[in-house]
Amino acid sequence: MMFTQIDEKEITRAIIHEYHAQLDSAVESDVIIAGAGPSGLVAGRYLAQRGYKVTIIERNNYLGGGMWIGGYLMNKVTLRAPAQAILDELNIAYKEYKPGLFVADSAFFASGLIRGACEAGVTFLNMTIVEDVVVKNKVLTGLVINSMPVTQLPRMITCLDPIIIESKLVIDATGHDAIICRLLGKRQMLESKGMGPLWVEASEKEIVARTGEVFPNLIISGMAVSEKCGLPRMGPTFGGMLLSGKRAGEIACTALETKQRETTK
């Protein structure tokens, strides 16, 4: 087998050119999603499939959040009906353990959701942290982001200013951290109650029901809803997060359509 002959410098140029073109494009999006876990990936896919420009920020090197492992380091994940419909859309295999309770391999589950978002056209900026928020006239208009490795270095040897990216809407899908809610809370602009003790039934139902806009241009989804609203935690099951992500996508679509109508009046 003969590979194409390419100078090593062209490999470097390809990486630099394509990455910076992607970063330049991500400076302005329709929707920025913080967090590439289950709810963020589902919301991103939903929006991108409908033609919206979506950028997902993820602080880890990998995408998928906690989906790669289930409870107690066992690589099986569970979900309850009707959330399996999302797995059907993505051709992710699962088995019905008991009526309405489904089990999937965590690797298949996580990689399937990631692939679905990628194929829909979502842009990812991983190894990136949300350092702050941009608020103008009491409206969220963007995020302040920085390189995640900077946070691991002592202050006396590093000082790296962040950059700003803007969007029409932001979705906080950062899970238990609820980072954007907490950043707004530091300025007394938004109150978060903190997550309650585990109760699967109440948690999943209420997380989906209370997914929505909690600050102008900020939608919360997944476990960030629990942290913001003081809802019970759901433990090692993922149906609520998938359906919360879909709901966040639906709410964002409606909001973007409304914004579009207002600008064309």
Which residues belong to the annotated binding site for NAD(+)? 39, 58-59, 66, 130, 161, 223
Strands (E) across 35-90 are located at 54-58, 76-80
Q: Which helix (H) or strand (E) holds 87?
A: helix 84-89
* Cα of 179 vs its chain's centroid, Å: 12
Residues at the binding site for glycine are 233
Torsion of CA 24, 29, 31, 35, to 10 degrees: 0
Q: Tokens 């359509």 belong to which residue?
A: 257
Backbone angles phi, psi at 226, to 5 degrees: -60, -45
- Maximal C-alpha separation, the chain: 63
CA 63 vs CA 4, 27, 34, 171, 216: distances in Å: 31, 20, 12, 16, 27
Report the distance separating Cα 200 and Cα 178, nearest Å. Answer: 19
Do 179 and 172 touch, CB atoms closer than 8 A? yes
* Amino acid (1-letter code) at residue 193: K
Tokens for 175, please give them. Answer: 């899970």
* Amino acid (1-letter code) at residue 68: W
Residues at the binding site for Fe cation are 161, 176
How buried is 60 (Cβ within 10 angstroms: 0-12 exposed, 13-18 middle, 19+ buried)?
middle
Give the dihedral sign, CA 206/67/246/257: positive
Residues at the binding site are 39, 58-59, 66, 130, 161, 176, 223, 233
